[in-house]
Amino acid sequence: MAEHVAARFQPVLSCHLSLTVWGGQVMCLSVCTHGVPRTLITSKCGLETKIRTVQVLTNSNRSKIRNNPVGYILEKRKVLTDAESKRLGTISFGASLLRNVDFTRTLDTRPRIHDMFHSLVRRYALPPPTQLLRVFFSTVTSVSSSGATASTDTHFPVDYLVDTCGFSAKDASKFSKKLSRCQSTERADAVLGFLRSRGLDGANIRKLISWRPVLLGCNVETNLAPKFNFLRDMGFSESDVVNVVMRQPFIIWLNVQNTLLPRLKVWESLFGSKEILLKNLRNCGFFFSSNIENVLHPNMKFLRDECGISEKRVSLIIKFHPSFIMLNPDALRALVDRVEGIGITRESRMFLWILDVLHGVSREKFEAHVKLMNNFGWSNSDFNTAVKKQPSFLKLSTESLLGKMEFLVKDVGIAPLDIAYHPKPLALSLEKRLIPRFRVMEILKSEGLWKSTNKLHGFFSSSGPYFLQKYVLPYQDKLPKLHEVL
């Protein structure tokens, strides 16, 4: 059964104090002035903790307010639910709500007040009696005779976010609500000063704050500085550090020794060198957010044990596309099924490459490509044959693929089925490779120098030095314009 102790203070205002005890613990300390109950101190039922701070509760959202009318900074506490409060015989109300509190026992005799508070302090480790009385007296004086209280602003100053950070009033108002724990601008000043000193401009700082407003409440020395210093020690330049932090700001919240350093070692091992790791962190970096134990390790084990792909071969792929290995393990298994569905076995040397390509190609895009090539006379089997030989053409947009096919078939004169069995030209640039070499071919034909034995797919796909040696240099004196069209 809950135990209640209450006192009425006549010298200041009509004030009713209630202390609720449950299971030997202080649960709720309330003050009732002019019929307006206000819960000042609460403690979760069954939680072995001592009450050291003052809490003011609002009934609408039951959030904890840090800047209460008497200026006490609040600690994080779980408030009583309505059900718990009713069971204890008291209900936590907002300061402006007119409701009654059922107190089972009231002490109205003023001479006993002093003894009662000293007893409560000793028994329940409450703040000193003088502090409690000052809290109660300050609280009741802030309550008007009509039961209304001054509104308590728990948000971070909006004008600070506007004037100092450069946010619009609308954005500042939105972010300030997420900074109820950060009431002083002193720490925010330190954070902004630190970020600016490390080379972040106003736009980048706003992006970081927008991503996680509580950044303004960070401790520079224990949270921010160690992460920036660690990245510099890794070999990043100052501009590189800014780039990495902006691409993956979650690094700010990682513990250097427990998370950041071990994760970097794992990825350095997979990439094969620190230089490749740093390059990937600069260029993309989002792979770094992958969970090592739940994603990376299960995927590597699956590819090794069930697909027969060694870690060395996987490393060759992820050096260029690290996001491939970050797939959800179930999604990776589904991707393997897709590859096998087009006739590529796990033993094929192309299996891993096609797996990587299909990772970036949706089913819808794949089907659109199949339909397009069907229009050129390819069967589904022809399409799968082309995929096995040159899977990278799957990454093309439908429009780009159509443009290349029309050029190769209509302008160059290659049969569609020949492209299916020699698809490498589909992976080459139309403007930078295919069209310039086609012009070389036209010039050679016009001069009677084109040989019918030349294979078109080899003509377009051969390397630059080989192409020059075979098709340009032998005729450079007679046909200097060959160089001009390349």
Nearest Cα to Cα of residue 5 among 93, 88, 99: 88
Both 419 and 449 in a single domain?
A: no
Give the percent of the chain with pLDDT over 90.
41
The pairing of strands 15-22 and 36-42 is unpaired
Q: What's the pLDDT at 115? A: 54
Residues 137 and 192 in one domain: no
- 337 lies in a domain? yes
Give domain status of residue 263, yes or no.
Answer: no
Any domain includes 10: yes
Which tokens is 183 given? Answer: 């009431």
- Domain assignment present for 384: yes
CA separation for the pair 318, 325 (Å, rounded):
7
Lowest mean pLDDT among 107-116, 248-257, 381-390: 107-116
What is the per-residue pLDDT across 294-332, written as a single tens digit (0 to 9) for each?
999 999 999 999 999 999 999 989 988 888 898 999 999
Residues 96 and 211 in one domain: no
In which domain, by residue range, is 221 found? Answer: 158-254
- Residue 412 has a pLDDT of 95
* CA–CA separation, 63 and 47 (whole Å): 19
> Does residue 270 lie within any of the structural domains?
no
Residue 146 lies inside a defined structural domain of this protein: no
User: Of 228, 254, 280, which marks where a domain is finished?
Assistant: 254
Condensed to tens digits (0 to 9), the pLDDT of residues 385-436 reads 999 999 999 999 999 999 999 999 999 999 999 999 999 999 999 999 999 9
137 and 8 co-located in one domain:
yes
Q: What is the mean pLDDT of the chain?
A: 74
Contacts of 428 (CB under 8 A, 6+ apart): 434, 460, 461
Predicted TM-score of the model (pTM)? 0.60
Write down which residue in 391, 412, 427 finishes a domain: 427
State how many domains the chain has: 4
Q: Higher model confidence: residue 83 or residue 68?
A: 83
How buried is 480 (Cβ within 10 angstroms: 0-12 exposed, 13-18 middle, 19+ buried)?
exposed
Q: Is the dihedral of CA 404, 410, 411, 413 positive or negative?
A: positive
Specify whether 420 is located in the same domain as 438. no
Q: Is the pLDDT of residue 88 over 90?
A: no
Q: Is the distance from CB of 333 to CB of 366 less than 8 angstroms? A: no
> 380: closest CA among 389, 371, 368, 393?
371
- Are 241 and 327 part of one and the same domain? no
Residue 82 in any domain: the answer is yes
The verdict on 221 and 91 lying in the same domain is no
Is the backbone of residue 125 left (phi > 0), alpha (psi -120 to 50) or beta?
left
Q: How confident is the model at residue 181 (pLDDT cuts 50, 70, 90)?
A: low
Q: What's residue 179's pLDDT?
A: 78
Considering the domain architecture, whether residues 394 and 440 belong to the same structural domain is answered as no
Same-domain status, 42 and 101? yes
Number of residues written out for the chain: 486
Confidence of residue 50 (pLDDT cuts 50, 70, 90): very low
Pair 266, 274: CB distance under 8 Å: no
Which one of 399, 427, 455 terminates a domain? 427
CA distance 447 to 477: 13
The tens digit of pLDDT for each residue in 261-307 reads 899 889 999 998 888 888 888 877 678 888 899 999 999 999 999 99
Whether 49 has a pLDDT exceeding 70, the answer reads no
134 part of a folded domain: yes
- pLDDT of residue 91 exceeding 80, the answer is no
pLDDT-wise least confident of 120-134, 212-226, 410-424: 120-134
Residues 135 and 39 in one domain: yes
Q: Pick left, alpha or beta for residue 336 (phi over 0 → left; psi -120 to 50 → alpha; otherwise beta).
A: alpha
pLDDT at 466 over 90: yes
Angle in degrees, 0-180, between the axes of helices 329-341 and 351-359, rounded to the nearest 10 = 120
3 state DSSP class of 305: helix
Same domain, 126 and 184: no
- Residue 99 scores a pLDDT above 70: no
On whether both 306 and 423 belong to a single domain, the answer is yes
- Overall average pLDDT of the 206-218 stretch: 89
